[in-house]
Amino acid sequence: MAALPVAPRVGVPIYGYSTDKVQIDPYIVLGSAVVGLLVGVTGAGGGALMTPMLILLFGIKPSTAISSDLVAAVVMRPIGAAVHIARRTVNFPLVGWMVMGSVPMAFLGAFVLHELGDSTGAQHNVEITLGAALLLGAAAMVLRYALDRRSGQSRQGVVHGLQIHPARTVGIGMVGGFIVGMTSVGSGSLMIVLLLFLYPMLGANQLVGTDLTQAVPLTLAAALGALAFGHVEFSVTTSIIIGSVPAVFVGALLSSRAPDRYIRPVITFVIFASGLKYVGLGTTALGWVLCATLFAAASVWVVSTRPWRTTPPPLLTEAGSGAGHADSSTPSGRGPLPPQA
């Protein structure tokens, strides 16, 4: 796909990071608004959707796209986190254990990306592995939903009474932090998949709120690493911030109030799309696959729920039924009228 034309750059140069002048690109602003809305609703998809958009549609160098996206996320994610904190859908002990592992590994990931330089082989392998993990996670989320539906179980939405597993939670943070430092993805999509299976009683609102909050220090650490190694393009970063910040605020308002049955399928769909993108599926093929997936999901919903069926009237008790028949026969309720001559 050919990159979209970029307007001549005008503005004030930022010394040390780019020889270009800062300018606002309306196409990047619009694309960032779409991605920001998804991030606010699901907590996932920021880097997994934003970075490919910058590379494929705007022809930005991968290392620059990754770093610019990370710096913009430092402004974007706290907005969504603040909304969930106000709604009390954040588990702060869980956030603390995750940050303990993710922040140091984010610096390490940024350093490894710097050492790789222009060689994209290792980074590509990381993205393929991440994509496969996300696809597996999306499939497992669908399976878990089907099993819960069959057994009649549901997520209890536990937030503050959750039993924490420190070692495994720190491990989730370490894996996610390293991948975020190298690729700018995983702070939302990968973390949500791992959190969902380690803490299955977390409701979708609490899952998104906790994930957005733990991503704030994680993306800050990764962004500091990106700034230290000089890959940031401030024109791109500014355009992303302008488009994504209002959108992520609206998305967070929706996710903090909407019930699980609406939010969880959207999370699964975004993670599925992110996984397909990172295993190397082309943009056109990705669009067709996602359309087919939506059509299949809609078909399954129609077959399983049969919305055309009318709800049967409530059954009456025996006494109520007799009374009903009496009332329906004559206004006085004393039985049927004699036949008239």
**247 or 61, which is more confident:** 247
Distance CA 170, CA 104 (A): 11
Per-residue model confidence as pLDDT tens digits over 38-51: 888 877 666 667 87
What percentage of the chain has pLDDT greater than the value 70? 71
Q: Is the torsion defined by CA of 260, 91, 131, 40 positive or negative?
A: positive
- Whether the pLDDT of residue 322 is over 80: the answer is no
Q: Which residue type does 77 have?
A: R
Per-residue model confidence as pLDDT tens digits over 22-37: 688 888 999 889 888 8
Distance CA 21, CA 32 (A): 20
Distance CA 171, CA 180 (A): 14
For residue 89, the model assigns a pLDDT of 84
For residue 319, the model assigns a pLDDT of 47
CB 254 within 8 A of CB 43: no
- Whether the pLDDT of residue 117 is over 70: the answer is no
Q: How confident is the model at residue 113 (pLDDT cuts 50, 70, 90)?
A: confident
Distance CA 162, CA 34 (A): 33
- Whether the pLDDT of residue 170 is over 90: the answer is yes
On average, the pLDDT of the chain sits at 74
Distance CA 80, CA 116 (A): 33
Per-residue model confidence as pLDDT tens digits over 278-320: 787 877 888 888 899 889 888 887 887 776 766 555 554 444 4
For residue 10, the model assigns a pLDDT of 38
For residue 302, the model assigns a pLDDT of 83
**183 or 128, which is more confident:** 128
Which residues have a Cβ under 8 Å from the Cβ of 176 and sit 6 or more positions away? 98, 102, 105, 186, 187, 190, 191, 194, 218
| Alpha helix (H) residue ranges in the chain | 26-42, 46-58, 62-86, 92-116, 121-151, 166-183, 189-198, 204-229, 234-257, 260-278, 283-305, 318-329
Per-residue model confidence as pLDDT tens digits over 84-111: 898 888 889 889 999 999 888 888 877 7
Instruction: Supply the DSSP string of 291-341, one letter for each residue.
Output: HHHHHHHHHHHHHHH-TTSPPPPPPPPHHHHHHHHHHHH-TTSS-PPPPP-
For residue 18, the model assigns a pLDDT of 46
For residue 229, the model assigns a pLDDT of 66
Distance CA 151, CA 138 (A): 20
Q: How confident is the model at residue 167 (pLDDT cuts 50, 70, 90)?
A: very high
63: left (phi over 0), alpha (psi -120 to 50) or beta: alpha
For residue 8, the model assigns a pLDDT of 42
Least confident stretch, 101-105, 126-130, 273-277: 126-130
**168 or 262, which is more confident:** 168
For residue 96, the model assigns a pLDDT of 92
